[in-house]
């Protein structure tokens, strides 16, 4: 499967805020994620649980802005800005790059870098 196409497809879901579908469709069962705060999640099921918890804490989505994407061999990069008001009164404004490593059309590793 073409990594560039796969990356564009997952980016379309993330741009709509459908992170659950993005993880469900594109992550391998043994995918590992590395968060910018040092959190490491070692499988798809645990990442889905984390995403559900995070998304449940959002009071308002002010915007999800997709900026750029690139891919080469089995690695892709995507740049987004996420702007959320949280139910606890806090605000999240993340400008980040997502690095994805792909194998057999699925993400086996995803890392998040705030810029």
Read off the pLDDT of residues 54-74 as tens digits, 9 standing for 90 and up. 999 999 999 999 999 999 999
- Residue 106's pLDDT band, with cuts at 50, 70 and 90, is very high
Q: pLDDT tens digits, residue range 21-47?
A: 999 999 999 999 999 999 999 999 999
C-alpha to C-alpha distances, 40 to 46, 58, 109, 111, nearest whole angstrom: 10, 22, 10, 9
Cβ atoms of residues 101 and 74 within 8 Å = yes
Q: Where would I find the H helices in the chain?
A: 3-15, 19-26, 44-56
Mean pLDDT of the chain: 96
Task: Report how far residue 92's alpha carbon sits from residue 94's, in angstroms, rounded to the nearest whole number.
Answer: 6
Report pLDDT for 14: 97
**pLDDT, position 97:** 98
């Amino acid at each position: 499967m073409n990594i560039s196409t796969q990356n564009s497809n997952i980016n379309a879901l993330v741009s709509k805020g459908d992170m659950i579908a993005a993880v469900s469709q594109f992550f391998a069962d043994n995918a590992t994620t590395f968060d910018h705060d040092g959190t490491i999640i070692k499988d798809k099921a645990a990442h889905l649980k984390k995403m559900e918890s995070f998304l449940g804490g959002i009071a308002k989505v002010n915007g999800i802005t997709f900026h750029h994407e690139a891919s080469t061999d089995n690695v892709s990069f995507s740049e987004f800005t996420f702007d959320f008001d949280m139910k606890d009164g806090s605000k999240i404004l993340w400008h980040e790059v997502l690095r994805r490593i792909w194998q057999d059309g699925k993400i086996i590793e995803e890392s998040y870098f705030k810029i």
